[in-house]
Structures are given as structure tokens and as C-alpha cells.
A and B are shown apart, each in its own frame.
Chain A
Amino acid sequence: MLGDYSLTDLSSIFVMQGFAGLILFSVYTLMALGLAIIFGQMGVINMAHGEFMILGAYMTYLCSGFFQTHLPALFPAYFFVAMALAFLASGALGMLVEWALIRHLYKRPLDTLLATWGLSLILQQAYRTIFGPREVGVELPAWLIGSVQVTDTIEIPINGMFVMAVTLLITAGVALLMYRSRFGAQVRAVVQNRPMAGAVGIDTEKVDRLTFGLGCGIAGIAGSAFTMVGSTGPTSGQLYIVDTFLIVVFGGAASLLGTIASAFSISQTQSTLEFFLSGSTAKVITLLSVVGILMLRPQGLFTLKVRR
């Protein structure tokens, strides 16, 4: 398996596959961050999370088309507008869904699973009706295309670095929001004990709605970033939802750091193995090791040590 490559080739392969893994890691992290808030913090199993992501991707697609035809001068900068729009659109839809559906089901987690599964089918069909069944791609501005030649054999794509920078920013922003702001403290109080949070003066319904909206909005940004590495179709979200849940559970449900660590280990294993074996064999090995580790550590990689 490894015998056909020379040592320099091998190290280049590892670097480039490692980098491909880092891009996958970034998209996984963005998707898992939203889910870590909704599932890890609020305990809501949101099967439609992938569709919120795809909404962000479609917003980016629309934005790219709009800028190309109406504002070609600003086209190089459209991606930033697209990400903001993706966040707002997915966040707004998330808050609507929380108000109409989720808030009635906080005490019935299994019903939430079914309801959001239904929602995901509805959204898929809506995308199919509005945008058509064919996958769409996004036109990238010139400065995001191409790659940086590091050595003779190592090339690093620019859009990949951009996705990583975005991920870093969003992750830092979410960490600050959750652990340094008053809103974050209120979110954590509500998820730990909803009636008691109300009894110390926190408007729990408002916090729930904003939290759910935030998680969905981050999924929208993930979708926006996702357009750079893959094409967007009505069912693309389905491909990622299982992986995303896997990451959140593997990382330890209530820990942001755990989510990041588990996204890193899963995506790196996946992409390095994919080069040498077939994609499905790589997936099997990844899943088997995750299952094995979860049997030894059912609480996930990272947990808080406190008396309950």
C-alpha cells in the first residue's frame, strides 16, 4: 500500500491530505458548533440541521448570481455579504421553527426527533421546488481560486485557507458569546434548569428562541462555507447530518472544546485513510473506532467534573 511512494512523496501526501482534512474539519466544526448549541446545550435533536445548512448554501448561490448580474464591481467581496445573509436567513427560519414547533416539544425529545425529521423532508421538497432538483455550484471570486505552492510537491488551496480562517473566527466568536457574555450565561442557566432560570428572572422563552436561532444561523454559515468545497443540492444536508451528530456525541455533549477535538480527530482520520483506502472503507474504520471509544467512554471525550 505504501511501498509505491518515495519518502518525500509520502510526506507531501500526508501534508496535503492533512490539509484536505483540515478543510473538512472546518466545515464539520462549523456544522457541529450549531448542533453543539442546539443538541449539546438545549438537548433538542434537530434532524433538520442539515437543511438549515443547505439554506445557507442556497443563499450564497443566490448572492453569487445577484452580484454577478447586478453588482459585478463588488463581486470579489460578495462572499462576506453571502455569509451574513446565510446567517440571518437560517437564524430567522430557526427562530420561526422554534416558535411554531420546538417550544411545544421540550419535554418530549423523541417527538422532537420525528417532528424535525418531518421538517427536514418538507424543507428538502421546498428546495427541490424552488431551486430545482439539480445540484448548483457557486462562482468563486478570482482571489479565492488557485493554490499556494509551498514546495515542489505541496500545494495548499486558497479557498481552503479561507474556510479555515472563517471557522476560526466563528468558533472564537461562539466561545466568547457562550462563556464571556451575559447572554451566554443566561443560555447556560436555562439549559441547566429551565424553571429555576425563570425564577431568577431570566426570560426563558426568549433565550430558548435566540439560542435555537443562533445554532441554526451558524449552520447557515457552515452551508455558505460548504459551497466552496462541494456542490449544493436539495439533499446535500442529509449527507452530513449523521457525521455531525457523531461529532457532537463523540466530543461530549455539553462541551465546545470536545466538539472541536472530536471534529478534528474524525475528519483527519477520515481524510488520511481515504487516500490509501476506498472512501467507504475509511468510513467503516472511522465509525468502528468511534464506536469503540464511545463504549469505553460513553460520556464522550470531554466532560465537566461537577457534583450535580
Chain B
Amino acid sequence: MLQTAPTSSAVPPIQAGVEPMLAIRDLHAAYGQSEVLHGLDIAVAPGEIVAVMGRNGMGKTTLMKTLMGIVPVKSGSIRVDGVEVGGLKSHQRVARGLAYVPQGRMIFSAMTVQENIETGLTVTNERRVPGELYEMFPVLLEMKGRRGGNLSGGQQQQLAIARALASRPKVLLLDEPTEGIQPSIIREMGRTLKAIRDAGGLSIVVSEQVLSFALDVADRVLVIENGAIVHEAARAEIDEAQVARFLSV
């Protein structure tokens, strides 16, 4: 059964009795006067992977940036594990449990791989990179003395994920992680994301244009169009053809 959620609906359906890890209510965000997000309601359960799909310019990146505090919230609420973060600065949101892997990866290119991961330790007050991060991404251990900018795209993506995980987040946000990455590594990344979820029990929100990747990793798929959620389906009951229609240009 497909449910096409109207934009005005209250909290989207998740399992009863489970407090959402990330709860977004009636979120509006704007660049200056031009409003881009028109009242989003999204709830993500602990340990759930949600894919936000949509064409270019529909508000996926703006949603991510608004959640991270890079684009200001105009109105509405963002709660992480019950704590309101909507008015906080980026670094305070990281301390409350949000972590971010941006589009284009945005690693610190002039710094070494190890230093890049260490920047993520700022809010945890740990001194050393946790061993399990290097176990998860062995290639980063091999390259830890190299400058981030000299890594390949796939390696940079792993670095950006490791840097985000270093802050021990409750919710991991990934903005188009498959962009510019070769297919074999995309499959590998899907496995990694599920492994991260299974190991740490954290919730993951991933924005995507690649339907196959979203179907591979996500428990639930949302479609965003013109700054509003227009379609929502759990993976088991998803209608690929209908989602694909939303994505076709």
C-alpha cells in the first residue's frame, strides 16, 4: 500500500511507542526572503535509515544545511533525542548528537587524513582516533599521513564519514554521498552505512538521487519536491516506478 503523505500531516507514521531520534516539525527555512523549505515534518526512529530523494533544486541540500545550522531555521522545530537544537550554532548541534557528511565531501584538503578525523573529536574531548574507525575504513589507516586533498573521491568520502563518526553522533546526515563515486564503491558504501547503523545503533538520514542506492540502504524513502514531502513509503511497500517518476526530469 502506498501512502502519499499530504504536506500538512502531523508526525509521519513510525512504530508506536518509539521516541524518534530526530524529530522535525513544520520546518521552514529560507535564503534571505526566498523560502525553500515549506513546513517539513519528518521523524526518524533510533537505528532507522531514511533516504530523502528528489531532483536537483528541490531542497535536499537545504534541508541538510538547515539541520546542521548552516542555513538558519525560519520557523519550526528540530529535536535530536528529545532536545531542541533549532536555535543552536553548528558546533553546539554536533555536541547534541548531529553529524554531517556534506555534498562534495568538504574534507580539509591541506590537512592530513589523521588530522581531518581528529577535527571530529573536538566535541568528545577524546585525544586519539578510536580504533574502530580505522577498522571500519582500513584504507584511512594506510593513508593517515597523506594530505586529504590528495585522496581519491571514494577515499575522501570514507574520510568524511569517519570524520563525522568521530564525534560519536546519534544522527548521521549524508548529503548525496554517491555523487561522483564509481559504482563498485557505491555498493561498498551501502554495506558500510548499514554496518555503522548495526554497530552503533545510530539513525541515518541520507539524501539521494540514485534510486538503486536508496532502495539498497534505506528502511524508508521520502520524496521531497519544491521544499515539501510529497511521497513516503517503507522499503517493503515501495513502488519503484512511482518514485522514479518523481525523480525523472
Given contacts A196-B102, A199-B100, A200-B122, contact A188 B90 (CB under 8 A): no
* Complex-state Cα separation, A189 to B116, whole angstroms: 8
Contacts of B150 in A (CB 8 A): 306-307
Chain A residues within an 8 Å CB radius of B149: 306-308
Residues in A whose Cβ lies below 8 Å from that of B90: 195, 198-199, 204
B22-65: CB near A (< 8 Å → 1, else 0) gives 00000000000000000000000000000000000000000000
Q: Does A254 contact B (CB under 8 A)?
A: yes
Quick check: is B91 within 8 A (CB to CB) of the other chain? yes
Of B70, B91, B127, most A-chain CB atoms within 10 Å: B91
Contact B122 A201 (CB under 8 A): yes
A196: chain B residues within 8 A (beta carbon): 102, 106, 108
Q: How many whole Å from B121's CB to the nearest CB in chain A?
A: 8
Could you tell me which residues of chain B, from 86 to 116, have a CB within 8 Å of some CB in chain A?
89-91, 94-95, 99-100, 102, 106, 108-111, 115
Is residue A123 within 8 Å, beta carbon to beta carbon, of the partner chain?
no
Q: Which residue of A lies closest to B71 (CB)?
A: A195
Shortest distance in angstroms between A7's beta carbon and chain B's nearest beta carbon? 48
Decide: B109 and A185 in contact? CB cutoff 8 A. no
Q: Are B91 and A188 in contact (CB under 8 A)?
A: no
- Chain A's interface: helix, strand, loop or mixed, by majority? helix
Alpha-carbon distance A188/B149, docked complex (angstroms): 14
CA distance in complex: A304, B150 (Å): 11
Residue contact A201 to B109, C-beta cutoff 8 Å = no
Scan residues 150-196 of chain B and give those whose CB is less than 8 A from a CB of chain A: 150, 163-164, 167
Most buried by A among B89, B110, B127, B167: B110
Q: Which residues of B contact A205 (CB under 8 A)?
A: 89
Q: How far is the CA of A176 from the CA of B99 in the complex (A)?
A: 29
A180-221 vs B, Cβ < 8 Å mask (1 yes, 0 no)? 001001101100110111111111110000000000000000
Residues of A within 8 A of B167 (CB): 200-201
Judge if B8 is at the interface, Cβ distance under 8 Å. no
Residues of B close to A189: CB separation below 8 A: 108, 111, 119
Given contacts A195-B90, A196-B102, A306-B150, contact A202 B110 (CB under 8 A): no
B118 lies within 8 A of chain A by Cβ: yes
- Chain A contacts for B129, CB-based, 8 A: none
Residues of B within 8 A of A188 (CB): 108, 110-111, 115
**Hey, which chain B residues are within 8 Å of A304, CB to CB?**
110, 147
> A-facing mask of B120-132, CB < 8 A → 1, else 0?
1011000100000
Nearest Cβ on chain B to A278's Cβ, whole angstroms: 43
Q: Are B110 and A200 interface neighbours, CB within 8 A?
A: no
A200 near B70: Cβ-Cβ < 8 Å: no
The reply to whether B91 and A198 form a contact with Cβ atoms under 8 Å apart is: yes
A200 to B95, CA, bound (A): 9
CB distance A199 to B102 under 8 Å? Answer: yes
Report yes or no: A198 in contact with B69, Cβ–Cβ below 8 A.
yes
Whether B223 is near chain A, meaning CB under 8 Å from some CB there, is: no
Q: Chain A's nearest CB lies how many Å from the CB of B116?
A: 8
Interface residues as binary, A221-255 with B (CB distance below 8 Å gives 1, 0 otherwise): 00000000000000000000000000000000010
Contacts of A254 in B (CB 8 A): 110
Q: Are B70 and A182 in contact (CB under 8 A)?
A: no
Residues of chain A within 8 A (CB-CB) of B127 are 182
Q: Report how far A182 CA is from B109 CA in the complex, Å.
A: 17
Q: Which residue of A lies closest to B109 (CB)?
A: A306
A210 to chain B, nearest CB (A): 14
Say yes or no: is B68 at the interface (Cβ < 8 Å to chain A).
yes
Contact A186 B102 (CB under 8 A): no
Some 15 contacts from A to B, beta carbons below 8 A apart, are A182-B118, A185-B119, A193-B108, A196-B106, A199-B90, A199-B91, A199-B102, A200-B164, A200-B167, A201-B119, A201-B123, A201-B167, A304-B110, A306-B109, A306-B150
Interface residues of A (CB under 8 A from B): 182, 185-186, 188-189, 192-193, 195-205, 254, 304, 306-308
Nearest 9 A-B pairs (CB), nearest first? A306-B149, A198-B90, A201-B94, A201-B123, A201-B122, A307-B149, A196-B106, A199-B100, A189-B119
